[in-house]
Amino acid sequence: DAGVIQSPRHEVTEMGQEVTLRCKPISGHDYLFWYRQTMMRGLELLIYFNNNVPIDDSGMPEDRFSAKMPNASFSTLKIQPSEPRDSAVYFCAVGRQGSAGELFFGEGSRLTVL
Amino acid sequence: AQKITQTQPGMFVQEKEAVTLDCTYDTSDPSYGLFWYKQPSSGEMIFLIYQGSYDQQNATEGRYSLNFQKARKSANLVISASQLGDSAMYFCAVDYKLSFGAGTTVTVRA
């Protein structure tokens, strides 16, 4: 398996534009997490899914953020409209029930909003 | 909600020596897991070690060991025989949803 695949790896956009970050998880892992990492706030959990169902989205900063997992092979994190303070590295990670908590992270998507 | 505290923003260690990274946590959950992750400069997050709150023995994984003191809510990571490749940011985390600490940067000197 190729691991968790995130795209794009880097994105530069202008304020107000829509941004869509994508994640292809490892098959057989029933938990999927979206994190955001910034220098100021560190690593923050935004939302997580279990078996494609959103379980906890309390970390989503505001209504401009939305996440979907239409099937076990794909998830998206959308920001609309984007703002400069959304600039961060966004990580997708997957885990499996009973795996002693080991999560596999993607390489992250670095977003810069000008 | 969980709160994780890593009080050491940065540490230097000589190659081949051991280093201890501190982590304290606060959780109301009766059962929880403690994790350490490594983030090298390339940015990826790498799982290192896990400790269950009911585990009787401290977890070990190669050169990594976790000094778990449940009553003190402390879960320090010990890296033995440091290598240059250990230079990275290290994060302590609690629970499956992984509330992360602020991290400790470790720099290994030759």
* Per-residue pLDDT tens over the stretch A53-84: 999 999 998 899 999 999 999 999 999 999 99
**Tokens, residue B93:** 């985390």
Question: B84 in helix, strand or coil?
Answer: helix
Three-state SS sequence of chain A: CCCCEEECCEEEECCCCCEEEEEECCCCCCEEEEEEEECCCEEEEEEEEECCEEEECCCCCCCCEEEEEEECCEEEEEECCCCHHHCEEEEEEEECCCCCCCCEECCCEEEEEC
CB contact under 8 A, B96 and A107: no
Cβ-count burial of B27 within 10 angstroms (0-12 exposed, 13-18 middle, 19+ buried)? middle
**AA letter at B93:** A
Chain A contact set for B97 (CB, 8 A):
33, 45, 48, 56
C-beta neighbour count of B45 within 10 angstroms: 24
Give the pLDDT of residue B24.
95
pLDDT confidence bin for B99, thresholds 50/70/90: confident
Residue B34 has pLDDT above 80, yes or no: yes
CB contact under 8 A, A103 and B100: no
Give the pLDDT of residue B1.
62
Whole-number average pLDDT of chain B: 92
Residue A108 has pLDDT above 90, yes or no: yes
DSSP single-letter state for residue B19: E
CB contact under 8 A, A91 and B100: no
User: B79 CA to chain A: closest CA distance, Å?
Assistant: 19
Give the pLDDT of residue A96.
86
CB contact under 8 A, A93 and B45: yes
User: B60 CA to chain A: closest CA distance, Å?
Assistant: 13
Whole-number average pLDDT of chain A: 93
Chain B CB within 8 Å of residue A70 CB: no
**Percentage with pLDDT > 70 across chain B:** 95
pLDDT confidence bin for B94, thresholds 50/70/90: confident
pLDDT confidence bin for B96, thresholds 50/70/90: low
pLDDT confidence bin for A106, thresholds 50/70/90: very high
Which tens digit of pLDDT belongs to each residue from A8-46? 999 999 999 999 999 999 999 999 999 999 988 888 899
- The distance in angstroms from the start CA to the end CA of chain B is 41
Cβ-count burial of A7 within 10 angstroms (0-12 exposed, 13-18 middle, 19+ buried)? middle
Chain B CB within 8 Å of residue A74 CB: no
- The distance in angstroms from the start CA to the end CA of chain A is 36
Distance CA B50, CA B30 (A): 17
pLDDT confidence bin for B2, thresholds 50/70/90: low
Give the pLDDT of residue A42.
87
Residue B97 has pLDDT above 90, yes or no: no
